Amino acid sequence: MTEPQAWTNPTIEGQLVLLRPFTPDDLPTAWEMITDPVGNDLTATTDEFSYDQITAWYLSRDEHADRVDLAIVERATGEFAGEVVLSDHDRSTNSCSFRISLRGPDWFGRGLGTEATALIVRHGLDELGLARITLEVLARNPRAVRTYEKVGFVRTAEVVEDGEAWIHMAITSPASALT
């Protein structure tokens, strides 16, 4: 099983995106992402945060040994496009949860989220040795569902919570099927 010290925030290069640790320069655009009404609707986010709370959150990401939090940077422009996160590591099942957020509608439909998802999933399964990565997505977000399915996630359940239909999805390591 992967030891917590392996959970560092690496830099991962793709064709369209670069995944890297957060920097203070990311804070204004991260704030834009956190306060984007479309993104908040598509993730059913209702909590409100202050700029100081968001600053403290992002600047503390390297202090956590049981999660990976990375900025998504569009390689063509060098601009912050969003974030990917592996969190809630369960050592007993060697699994974790995944989430992604893009800066807003101008960043949708460009392949950035799909590549960022594929890169962080490959990192989780191959480099961290996870057996399983899970996520929850709103059923009314078909673009996200298609992205996750392209990467290899499969539906494991559908539930309704507080009037919202959610799809639970998972991807497993091919190696975990052998054990």
* pLDDT exceeds cutoff 60 at 159: yes
- Across the chain, what does the average pLDDT equal? 90
In this prediction, residue 20 carries a pLDDT of: 96
State whether the Cα torsion 37-77-64-117 is positive or negative: positive
Q: Could you give the angle at the alpha carbon of 33 between the alpha carbons of 28 and 35, nearest 5°? A: 95
Work out the pLDDT band at 1, boundaries 50, 70, 90.
very low
Longest distance between any two alpha carbons in the chain, whole Å = 47
pTM reported for the whole predicted model:
0.90
Phi and psi for 171 in degrees, rounded to 5?
-130, 140
Instruction: Please state, in angstroms and rounded to a whole number, the distance separating the CA atoms of residues 134 and 34.
Output: 22
- Sign, CA torsion 21/22/23/26: positive
C-alpha 98/C-alpha 169 separation (Å) is 10
d(CA 55, CA 121): 26
The pair of three-digit structure tokens given for residue 157, joined into one six-digit string: 């359940």
CA distance 146 to 152: 10
pLDDT at 89: 93
Positive or negative CA dihedral for 63, 127, 30, 87? negative
The predicted pLDDT at position 176 comes to: 56
Tokens matching residue 126 = 């191959």
Give the three-state DSSP class for 77.
coil
For the segment 15-34, the average pLDDT, to the nearest whole number, is 93
Q: How far is Cα 30 from Cα 83, in angstroms, rounded to an integer?
A: 8
Q: Where are the beta strands (DSSP E) in the chain?
A: 12-13, 17-20, 68-74, 80-90, 95-102, 132-138, 154-161, 164-172
**Cα torsion at 152, 153, 154, 157 (round to 10°)?**
180
